[in-house]
Structure 1
């Protein structure tokens, strides 16, 4: 029994910290959802895909999250530092500086 508990504790400690982080309340219900539908739902809730690494920014709530996908489903949503979404460091928007060449589908909260 002690051996099993030790193995379980070691496995838990080896998980990345991000998977143990709590999801923001406004999108916590999307954990387990199919990725394509959940992506649309993220957008409808004010999140913008800031390009790469499944990182999303919500300007209204000033929330930056990283979405973890496993087997086509959202397996976890971790709140991360705003700087990971391009906030702070002199940047005020997740939108590209030159929208004339940007793929606006990837930046639905941005406009020309």
Structure 2
């Protein structure tokens, strides 16, 4: 995670938002594994009833997917610099049924039905309140002050897309869901203005009345970008990667 870059904002209108910021959390039974070394984390995952389904890599981070028959849950684990950077629950279809590591056979490309699992780096605004004393030149004395500072924070996360022709939906978790949001439906938001071309897929979704992020997916490289705050960039995996493109 990069260190936030701060700049000063006025306090008015930001205090409520600053106190309402949400933080992504790992599943309750795995929360203590954030920061664990990779090998030790894998041992603990298995001891707690999880089976590793598959692994992939995005830039300098590796992602593993774990299934628990007891919890009936799929968990994505991001490892960076040899330690567990994040653990998050993801839709069950990201894990093979029953936790088996066997991959489903590739499906032929269909313009009407396409599911993409995308992992990478998100970015959102952060706010921090500061209080203390500062010199008042007019009154020639120190006066109490309080101000709000804003910056940006980067984090590892994943999103999922389900396309059905010119309609679809996107699944968001953790810090990809801002405090002010429409609630979605079990983490899913409907996609609008879906355009599925042979080289590129574009769409929008409405996170709230004022925030309508733009989605751009490159079908040849598998790269994805969500232009908004929170924003996201990463890589998507799914399906038959023949014909010179990933999906």
Bucket of the pairwise TM-score, normalised by the shorter protein: 0.5 to 0.7
Distance in 1 (CA, whole Å) between partners of 2:67 and 2:25 is 16
Any stretches of 5+ residues in structure 1 without a counterpart? 7-19, 87-91, 98-112
Q: Is the 8 A contact 2:67 2:98 kept in 1?
A: no
Q: Is the 8 A contact 2:76 2:90 kept in 1?
A: yes
**1:23 partnered with 2:26:** yes
Superposed CA RMSD: 2.0
Aligned counterparts, 1:20-99, within 5 A:
21-53=24-56, 54-86=64-96, 92-95=97-100, 96=102
Pick 1 or 2: higher relative contact order, CA cutoff 8 A, min separation 6. Answer: 1
Distance in 1 (CA, whole Å) between partners of 2:8 and 2:69 is 43
What are the Cα deviations for residues 20-54 of structure 1, in whole angstroms up to 9, with x where unaligned? Answer: 64210101100001111010000000000002230
Shift of 1:63: 1.1
Any stretches of 5+ residues in structure 2 without a counterpart? 1-5, 10-22, 57-63, 104-247
What are the Cα deviations for residues 69-110 of structure 1, in whole angstroms up to 9, with x where unaligned? Answer: 111000110110000012xxxxx423239xxxxxxxxxxxxx
Distance in 2 (CA, whole Å) between partners of 1:73 and 1:52 is 15
Larger radius of gyration: 2
Distance in 1 (CA, whole Å) between partners of 2:70 and 2:99 is 13
Larger relative strand fraction: 2
Q: Is the 8 A contact 1:21 1:79 kept in 2?
A: no
Query: Structure 1 segments of 4 or more deviating over 4 A?
Result: none
Q: Is the 8 A contact 1:22 1:79 kept in 2?
A: no
- Secondary structure at 1:93's aligned position in 2? helix
Distance in 1 (CA, whole Å) between partners of 2:8 and 2:99 is 44
Distance in 1 (CA, whole Å) between partners of 2:99 and 2:81 is 28
Could you tell me the TM-score, scaled by structure 2's length?
Answer: 0.29
